[in-house]
Amino acid sequence: MQLRELGEFRLIERIKSKLSYSHRDIVKGIGDDACVTRIQTGKLLLSTTDTLIEDVHFDLGFISAHDLGKKSLAVNVSDIAAMGGEPRFFLLSLGIPSRISVKFIDQFVSGLSEAAQSFQTYAVGGDTSLSPERFVVSITVLGEALPSHAIYRDSANVGDQIFVTGYLGDSALGLKILKSRTNLSRVEERFRYLTERHNSPVPRVTEGRLIAENRIASAMIDISDGLISDLEHICRESMVGARIWLEKVPLSEAFQKYSKEFTENPTDLPLSGGEDYELLFTVDKFNVGDLERIKTEFQTKVTHIGEIVEKDNGVKVLRDSGQRYTVKKKGFDHFL
């Protein structure tokens, strides 16, 4: 079915019926001028927004509508996780070209709904409109955190140790595989783990919350631009430098097995590939023991990859030999 057969009002009703959720903190969800929610007493409001535009942030040949729905929410939830917060509600804004079918929207919404359930983050409002060419998804996630738990980018200190969750580079390698196959359906089963790491990232909400509640981290960020680029954000805001130990950067088995097939610079992908949506955080050395203790509750591994140094040293990647490694391209710039 085409959208022109359904019309805007019935489309909204259709989306609403799949995303509406009863919750004691949702006073008024989808369907009024604004949504009305309760923030728990004593907590701070966290909010973050990300707009994903077709052929800039995603290619519909490489990702299913279902996964795109999941990922659109996941990348925003990841920003809340990086603050040590708890995601609670979201607003969804869709710009839909006339070529997009109702079935596509249904699948997109089903992915979104699956992600909403898994993060316990519920739709409370949004809008839909026509878009001339590209499918546009804009999501705002609202979350909360106790004032003493929120973790910023600007409070890393010299001597802090640098940690990262999960494996880096899988997502960037997954994208390279997708591009080389020119279509999702042509990707061989053995590469599925890597392409799923790109199309269906898991934001580290549990880990972020545990780190926050136990006051483990001095600074934290999620890796969306790339390890070095995001570490530079922490360093710039905190006015410090950093040293990353190249051989310590965690690589998945699949990455080690297949990366050489798809890139001439397999070393660079985990450093600058981006879209890992893993947490990068700094820990005062007296808290490293606490991290060891709580990491048993993590759903993914955590790896010690470097340390914070004086600002004048900049951000450097070092080999075991002590030699400096230089990344060719640090991260993604939309306009360069």
How far apart, in whole angstroms, are the C-alpha atoms of residue 144 and residue 231? 24
Cα torsion 248, 249, 251, 255 to 10°: value is -120
Q: Which of residues 10 and 293 has its CB atom nearest to its own copies in the complex?
A: 10
> Which range touches its own copies (CB under 8 A), out of 1-9, 16-24, 210-218, 317-325?
1-9
Residue 73 within binding range of its own copies, rule CB under 8 A = no
8-14, long-range: CB within 8 Å, 24+ apart, which pairs?
Answer: 8/128, 11/102, 11/105, 11/128, 12/128, 14/102, 14/105, 14/106, 14/109
Question: Applying CB under 8 A, which of residues 65, 136, 240, 271 lies at the interface with its own copies?
Answer: 136
Whether 181 contacts 333, CB under 8 Å? no
Residue 83 within binding range of its own copies, rule CB under 8 A = yes
Interface positions, 86-115, toward its own copies (CB under 8 A)? 89, 91-96, 98
CB-count exposure of residue 335 (10 Å: 0-12, 13-18, 19+): exposed
Q: Which residues face 86 on adjacent strands?
A: 144
How far apart, in whole angstroms, are the C-alpha atoms of residue 97 and residue 223? 31
Q: Which of residues 94 and 309 has its CB atom nearest to its own copies in the complex?
A: 94
Residue 134 within binding range of its own copies, rule CB under 8 A = yes
Minimum distance from CB of 253 to its own copies (Å)?
Answer: 29
How far apart, in whole angstroms, are the C-alpha atoms of residue 303 and residue 279? 11
Question: Applying CB under 8 A, which of residues 31, 99, 183, 186 lies at the interface with its own copies?
Answer: 31
Question: Applying CB under 8 A, which of residues 16, 18, 44, 64 lies at the interface with its own copies?
Answer: 44
> Which range touches its own copies (CB under 8 A), out of 38-46, 63-71, 170-178, 260-268?
38-46
Residue 258 within binding range of its own copies, rule CB under 8 A = no
Interface positions, 178-217, toward its own copies (CB under 8 A)? none
> Which range touches its own copies (CB under 8 A), out of 135-143, 169-177, 210-218, 261-269?
135-143
Question: Applying CB under 8 A, which of residues 65, 68, 112, 142 lies at the interface with its own copies?
Answer: 142
Residue 152 within binding range of its own copies, rule CB under 8 A = yes
Rounded alpha-carbon distances, angstroms, from residue 335 to 56, 135, 251, 274: 11, 20, 30, 16
